[in-house]
Amino acid sequence: MNLTIKKFDINNSKEILELRVNSNQESYIETVGECIEEASKCSNWRPVGIYDDEKIVGFAMYALFLEEGKNGRVWLDRLLISAENQGKGYGEAAVRVLLKRLYREYGYDKIYLSVYDDNEVAIALYEKIGFQFTGEVDTKGEKLMAINLQHEEHKNE
């Protein structure tokens, strides 16, 4: 597995927009098209494709919002692995690669995400990596989780 992150652009837009999760996961995340539309309205968002070599396997969207909290918050707000690529270890690997990218790009030790409390598979994945619930709930009713990148393995490649 050789995961890389590529910015969403005209060259990869078609293959990224075609990504779909399993039907039983559709209530947990917006479609890629909805994410891209949201990113077009807010320049903070960074939509990206997740690739194993040249094969598209997933999508993520992240941002830094300086107006949140004392010094701003970095969000790993959207993450999906396409239905046909699930169960192959891409989810965990993608989160780890994304955490490194977020640290390099923004320099923040604390990274946030949100998850519905009945999304047990995602919660187990995030907890395995080191995310913990913060006790906060977002505007859509999702529970916030955060990781503190104190450990070098999350920062370095």
Average pLDDT of the residues in 18-40: 78
pLDDT tens digit string along 105-121? 999 999 999 999 888 88
* Confidence label for 87 from pLDDT (cuts 50, 70 and 90): confident
CA distance 124 to 103: 22
Query: Is 106 an active-site residue?
Result: no
pLDDT tens-digit readout, 38-83: 899 999 999 999 999 999 999 999 999 988 878 889 999 888 888 8
Which of the residues 51, 62, 112, 126 is marked catalytic?
126
Amino acid, res. 73: R
Percent pLDDT > 70 in the chain is 92
Contacts 24+ apart (CB under 8 A), 91-96: 91/58, 91/125, 92/125, 92/128, 92/129, 93/1, 93/3, 94/3, 94/50, 94/57, 94/58, 94/60, 95/125, 95/126, 95/129, 96/129, 96/154
